[in-house]
Each structure stands twice: as structure tokens, then as C-alpha cells.
Amino acid sequence: MKLFVGLGNPGAQYSFNRHNVGFMAVDAVAAAHGFPSWRKRFQGVAAEGKLGRETVLLLKPGTYMNESGRSVGEAVRYYKLELADVIVFHDDLDLAPGKMRVKTGGGTAGHNGLKSLTAHIGNDYVRVRIGIGRPGQKELVHAHVLHDFAKSDHIWLEPLLGAIAQGAPDLAESAGDKFQSFVAHAVQSEALAAEEQPEPVLRERQAQPRAETKKPVAEGTLSSMLRRWLGS
């Protein structure tokens, strides 16, 4: 079994924050692969299903970001998992928006969710780092991560989350390099296709999600914007 953990803060008011892109990623996986409804488990919500040949538990801790390790630690102990079977999706200030990298272990780069996980389960879990970019001044970081994605972000966010969802079976089968290559290629292909579209079409596509993202997103669901991308 693999444990896919999305990091974020529970509650509709946080649902489209940059800091919640880990929640968005596991929501996308659940929607794309027909996982059953989320239910309360391990101080959060979880859904169990199949990705390829692998059984996967998706988990969104309900303990808030700074205490994510409490929830994840419960799941790890319950299933007696090795850290190599724990895959954590999280926002990363040191990657440009729209970039994604997979790594095992390493530092936490000041990320409070990762700090909590490392304190509770150890450090050698797999991280899926989802770039959100870093603001120019250090004092702006807190507001940056706890603010909703900007309208201009939607044009890369949808393809990225869609590609993560589509490539998730490779990640579940421990083919992290293959997964990373698939996501990079899919996002690049989408960007090239977007460049070929007439400017009015692009403007309409960028503007469309704006009103939708102001609405609260129910726990365990995707916004209608992401559902359209995934075709679900």
C-alpha cells in the first residue's frame, strides 16, 4: 500500500490558497481515478482506491498545516508503512509556479507541514514539490502562501493538477522519474497548445475561473474548473 498525503489547511476559506495545493493535488487524483467518497480517518479525511496495480490511501490531514505529522503518523503506524511508501504533495516556494519535482528526504526548507511530518515519522518520505514561486521580499511570504491563486495562475494550475492526476499510477508504482517526466511533458504540451490559441480565446479561458474560485469549495471535491479539466 502507498499513502498519498496532501498538505493544506482544512476549511472552505483556505481551499484555493497556494498553501493548499497539496490538497488540490490529491483531490485531483481522487476525481480522476474514481476513488470513493472521503471519510473521516486519522484526524483528517481519507479515501482508498487503486492506482494501477497499487492500493493507495489518499489522506488530507485535518490538523492544520503545522500539525500535519500527527495525522500522517497515525496512518503510517496503522498500516505499518515504510517511509518509501509515503508520498507527500506540498507547495514549494523555491520552485517557479507550474514546476514540479519529486525527491526523497532532504531538508524541509522552512515548510511547517514538512517539519511536522519529519518530527513524527522521520525524514525519508517522498515529496512531490509543487512550485508556487517566492515573492520578492521575505515579509511577503506569509501572505503569499495563504492567499488564493491569482487569476493568471489558472492557466498553468489546471494542466499541472490534471497531469499529476493522470500520472499518479506511475508514482504509486514507485516510478518517480517516469511520473516527473510525464508531468513535465504534459504541462509543456498544454503551454504550447495555449500559445497557438487566438488571444480572445486565451483571455476568455483565463477569466473564466475567477468567479468560481470565490465560492467555497466543499471538502473532498474539486472546483468546477478542475472538474472540467479532468473531464469528470
154 has catalytic annotation: no
In this predicted model, what pLDDT tens digit does every residue of 69-81 receive, in sequence order? 999 999 999 999 9
> Cα separation of 134 and 172, whole Å?
29
List the catalytic residue out of 19, 90, 111, 154.
19
In this predicted model, what pLDDT tens digit does every residue of 114-158 receive, in sequence order? 999 999 999 999 999 999 999 888 889 999 999 999 888 988 999
* Cα four-point dihedral sign 213, 219, 224, 230: positive
* Domain ranges for the chain: 2-230
Strand partners, 86: 3
Q: Domain 2-230 carries which CATH code?
A: 3.40.50.1470
The grid cell for 80 is 505499518
In this predicted model, what pLDDT tens digit does every residue of 165-200 receive, in sequence order? 999 999 999 999 999 999 999 888 877 766 665 656
% of the chain with per-residue pLDDT over 90? 72
